Amino acid sequence: MKKNKTKKNRIHNKDKKRIKGGFGEQHGFPPCTNLSLFPILDQNIIGFRRYLNSPMDCFINALQVFGLLDTLCANIIRISSAGRTTGFTKEEIEGVCILLTGGLNFDFIGSDNYQHFEHIIMTSIPPNNGVLAGYSGHVFIIARKSSGEIILIDPQLDYLGDYLSARHLIYAPGRNYFLLFQSSEKLTQDQIRSLGFNI
């Protein structure tokens, strides 16, 4: 994940500013109140392959582990500047998820309260599901196995294992921690177009 840029995008009508992901609630978009859950399948973890260890591919890794990108597509994107140098902004992550779900609203919500972040992780993830989590500059997956164990999945750190044993890999004082949330309702076609999409 990279830092947000302040440059304003415009759609075809020069007077209308393009609205971005989580900011949409200010414009009447459905609120993002539900933690986004993604099924975790053993074959996606066992079959995970990085042909290129790109330094900024953490979001690509997550999409591949969630089964939303196949191995070939994920490795093609790793070759791009997004995989090698720039990563994905918060708004780009939200936009990708809007496209993947056909129009739900998304917000990668941040908090500097690590205890609150961890409480959500420990109490809200059902077995065989994972969430997209992160801090400024990096994303990873936290999931619950069928046994109930909470695990951290972070291919960039080459770590897949017990979350409690790996806290030191992600915790640092003063960091903001992010979890991806989604709306229960889909965006209208007008709202989708205001994001610059035609779906």
DSSP state letters, 115-170: HHHHHHHHHHPPTTEEEEEEETTEEEEEEE-TTS-EEEEEGGGTEEEETGGGHHHH
Residue with tokens 């229960």, as numbered in its chain: 184
Per-residue pLDDT of the chain (199 residues), as tens digits, is 554 444 333 333 333 444 555 656 667 899 999 999 999 988 889 889 999 889 999 999 999 999 999 999 999 999 999 999 999 999 999 999 999 998 999 999 999 999 999 999 999 999 999 999 999 999 999 999 999 999 999 999 999 999 999 999 999 999 999 999 999 999 999 999 888 888 7
Q: Which amino acid is at 34?
A: N
Tokens of 87: 């990563």
- Identify any residues that bridge with 130 across adjacent strands, giving them in sequence order: 38, 143
Query: Residue 56 carries which DSSP code?
Result: T
